[in-house]
Chains A and B, each alone.
Chain A
Amino acid sequence: MKNKLPDNLFPNNIKNLLHAMSDVGFFERSVVVGSWVMLIYQELYGARYVLRTLDVDFAVHIAHQKRKLKADLKQLITSLGFTDYFDAEGTQKFTGGGYEVEFIGQRSGGRGKGVLAVPEWNVSAIPLPFISILTDFSDVAELCDFIIRFPIPEAFFLHKLIIAQRRLSDAKRDKDLEQCSVIIPIINDERMKNIIQKQRFSRETKSRIVASCDAIGFPLHRIELL
């Protein structure tokens, strides 16, 4: 395995969670996202970003409708000492040891849907746009004796470029752009272009990407945004 992570990279709570989820095959198609990915990039590619939130997010690959249960993640996560609860929007989340675990999934269509049911894993996810960029372009790394899947830096970078400009909070936008700036040195132009070619962005999304690139000084020709 080319991507080997040190055993003590994650706090024990999170490592155990990742291990259990890996064992049931969650990382075959779904990925770990959020600020914890930066820790993986730091280890594998030397892109250093020290700020981390206490929520552990997973982008779940939504299988074809009515697919049968693969594993009961709700039962699995609560058996690890986490407590499940529903937030104000009705999304199922888990909390334990000060960490919050939540799932996000690709939102198809408009803003209508409040919660995305994922019967395959017996959890519900927050529907958000552009999540498929993260799940479709990913890589795996070995941690202890199991594997975890994470978005490749180019996918993470592109996703952040888009969502940064959709943020209502300045602080969150700044954080997204800061993370982008840290990733710039490890961006591979060919992989980046490959991702872009497979997307169909609206004019609005393209203008968001341009605005983010301007903000961090990333040359647009490296993206080849048509």
Chain B
Amino acid sequence: MKVAEKDNVVHGMLEDEYRRSQEIVKALQAKLKYYPKGALNVRGKKVKNKKYFYHYLVRRDGKKIVNLHVAELDLPKLKKQIEEREKCRKEILSYKKRVLYLAKLLKKSKWEGGREK
């Protein structure tokens, strides 16, 4: 069977990409901790023929479901933070997929570290 000769440059680039992706996952996971947990929920309440809406941040705390009231004033900021958190999660997911693919290709364990700038 003919075996292709290993290309040092291409192999090095793949190795670098593998380590780079791992580092990004770690950095983004660290960033994720600073975002609020949970999802936004709206509840409507009818008082004297008038309907009022209240926003809540719903999250799980062990076995309990916690509803935290969100003031109208804090809503835009919170919405932005949740949006950024989801963007961050999406990035992590795509890098994790890349790490898995490269780990297979390079015959490595999923998580190894360190790269040279």
- State the A residues within 8 Å of B (CB): 51, 53-55, 81, 83, 85-88, 93, 95-96, 98, 100, 126, 128, 167-172, 174-175, 178
Q: Which residues of B lie under 8 Å from residue A168 when comparing CB positions?
A: 116
Closest 7 CB pairs of A and B: A171-B12, A85-B27, A175-B9, A174-B9, A85-B31, A168-B116, A171-B8
Is chain A's binding surface mostly helix, strand, loop or mixed? mixed
Q: Which residues of A lie under 8 Å from residue B17 when comparing CB positions?
A: 53-54
Quick check: B9 and A98 within 8 Å, CB to CB?
no
Total residues of chain B contacting the partner, CB 8 A: 26
Quick check: B116 and A51 within 8 Å, CB to CB?
no
**Chain B 71-100 interface residues, beta-carbon cutoff 8 Å to A:** 84, 87-88, 91, 94-95, 98
Quick check: B28 and A95 within 8 Å, CB to CB?
yes
Quick check: A51 and B9 within 8 Å, CB to CB?
yes
Does B24 count as interface, using CB distance less than 8 angstroms? Answer: yes
A38 to B13, CA, bound (A): 16
Q: Would you list 23 pairs from A and B whose C-beta atoms are within 8 A, ordered by A residue?
A: A53-B13, A83-B28, A85-B24, A85-B28, A87-B27, A88-B23, A88-B26, A88-B27, A93-B27, A95-B24, A95-B28, A95-B91, A95-B95, A98-B98, A100-B24, A167-B116, A169-B116, A170-B12, A171-B9, A171-B11, A171-B12, A174-B9, A178-B9
Q: Which residues of B lie under 8 Å from residue A51 when comparing CB positions?
A: 9-10, 13
Does B117 count as interface, using CB distance less than 8 angstroms? Answer: yes
**Chain B 41-74 interface residues, beta-carbon cutoff 8 Å to A:** none
A151 to B40, CA, bound (A): 48
Quick check: A172 and B87 within 8 Å, CB to CB?
no
How near does chain B come to A88, taking the closest CB pair, in angstroms?
A: 7
Q: Mark B16-31, 1 if CB is under 8 A from A, else 0.
A: 1100100110111011
B17 and chain A: residue at smallest CB distance: A54
Known: A54-B17, A95-B91, A169-B116. A175 touches B12 (CB 8 A): yes
Quick check: B23 and A87 within 8 Å, CB to CB?
yes
A86 to B106, CA, bound (A): 27
A147 to B10, CA, bound (A): 31
How near does chain B come to A79, taking the closest CB pair, in angstroms?
A: 12
A81 to B88, CA, bound (A): 10
Sample of 8 further A-B pairs with CB below 8 A, known A54-B20, A95-B28, A128-B117: A51-B13, A87-B23, A96-B91, A98-B94, A168-B116, A172-B12, A174-B12, A175-B13
A202 to B14, CA, bound (A): 34
Quick check: A100 and B20 within 8 Å, CB to CB?
yes
A179 and chain B: residue at smallest CB distance: B9
Partner of A174, one of B8, B24, B87, B88: B8
A175 and chain B: residue at smallest CB distance: B9
A168 to B24, CA, bound (A): 21
A87 to B27, CA, bound (A): 6
A54 to B24, CA, bound (A): 13
Quick check: B9 and A83 within 8 Å, CB to CB?
no
Partner of B12, one of A87, A95, A169: A169
B11 and chain A: residue at smallest CB distance: A171
